[in-house]
Chain A
């Protein structure tokens, strides 16, 4: 009986070992299966790669064609305003530089801006000059110039809101009279603008020939006399002429 028992145990053990060895082994059938599977994958991939390569070729051609179309379109656009690409590039650089100046002036304090009011005037003139170029009709430039205009106007508004104060010195030392004050480079650089100071300070100047040391005169903004100022000047000269 013992013999039979031992026999059965050994039989079972060997059977388990045998089966597990057989299972772990990579069989030729499995190899064939894998080979078929990978062959199918390779063939599918080859087909897909070929298809996508063809698509890439078509897309590359399409992209080149679009480049050509765009180049022609841009040339036609510049030709509409009698210009060309080189001139447009130069115009673009010009706008860049003007925008930089406007940005620089916009960052200044009011006092510093006041000291550079001539630069604001130059900027306004430059912007006007840019508008005179027909390239400004092209939306790219038109939009930028419109924004530039707004900046220039803002700067001019800031300046016009500023009132410069001039402290009158003595005649002996400073030779200060409205004519000479007006002539100063940091005032109007133009002696004939003196009526503007007079009219802007009617509260403290009754007679434009008489100003006093220590008086604080407001210097109104502007490059030209208003009609009121011109009228006041005419009346003054008429009175003097009598």
Chain B
């Protein structure tokens, strides 16, 4: 009976160990080169996001600048009309 117990325990342990090893081993991990590839890609994305933010800011600045210049030009044209009217008087 004792021998039977030991055999059962040993069998269980072996079964469990091999099962666990299979569980861990079946799902393989990326190697170092692959991880480097992913990290490089992440860095590239981060740099692009930063670049995009800067360009968006630059574009917003230009939009504002153009709106101001348009207003200045409109005023200048209006001033010309006013001066013409005053000269005509």
Residues of chain A touching chain B, judged by Cβ–Cβ distance below 8 Å, are 3-4, 6-7, 10-11, 14-15, 17-19, 21-22, 25-29, 31, 34-35, 38-39, 41-42, 45-46, 48-49, 52-53, 55-56, 59-60, 62-63, 66-67, 69-70, 73-74, 76-77, 80-81, 137-140, 142
A137 CA to B65 CA in the complex, in Å?
28
CB of B29 within 8 A of CB of A26, answer yes
Count of inter-chain pairs, beta carbons less than 8 A: 133
Q: Which residues of A contact B52 (CB under 8 A)?
A: 45, 48-49, 52
A37 to chain B, nearest CB (A): 9
A1 to chain B, nearest CB (A): 10
Q: Which residues of A contact B70 (CB under 8 A)?
A: 66
Contact with A along B28-71 (1 / 0, CB 8 A): 11100011011001101100110110011011001101100110
With beta carbons under 8 angstroms apart, the residue of A10, A42, A73 that contacts B16 is A10
Counting contact residues on chain B (CB < 8 A from A), the size range is: 35 or more
4 closest residue pairs by CB, A with B: A18-B20, A45-B48, A31-B30, A66-B69
B10 to chain A, nearest CB (A): 10
Contact with A along B9-24 (1 / 0, CB 8 A): 1001100110110011
Q: Is the interface of B mostly helix, strand, loop or mixed?
A: helix
CB of A42 within 8 A of CB of B27, answer no
Q: Which residues of A contact B12 (CB under 8 A)?
A: 7, 10-11
CB of A70 within 8 A of CB of B76, answer yes
Residues of chain B touching chain A, judged by Cβ–Cβ distance below 8 Å, are 5, 8-9, 12-13, 16-17, 19-20, 23-24, 27-30, 34-35, 37-38, 41-42, 44-45, 48-49, 51-52, 55-56, 58-59, 62-63, 65-66, 69-70, 72-73, 76-77, 79-80, 82-84, 86-87
CB of A80 within 8 A of CB of B73, answer no
Q: Which residues of A contact B51 (CB under 8 A)?
A: 49
CB of B80 within 8 A of CB of A41, answer no
Contact of A31 with B16 at beta-carbon distance under 8 Å, contacts A38-B42, A48-B52, A66-B69 already known: no
A72 to chain B, nearest CB (A): 9
With beta carbons under 8 angstroms apart, the residue of A27, A45, A62, A140 that contacts B45 is A45
Q: Which residues of A contact B16 (CB under 8 A)?
A: 10-11, 14-15
In this complex, the member of B19, B59, B80 whose beta carbon has the largest number of chain A beta carbons within 10 angstroms is B80
CB of B55 within 8 A of CB of A59, answer no
CB of B45 within 8 A of CB of A3, answer no
A53 CA to B56 CA in the complex, in Å?
9
A25 CA to B59 CA in the complex, in Å?
44
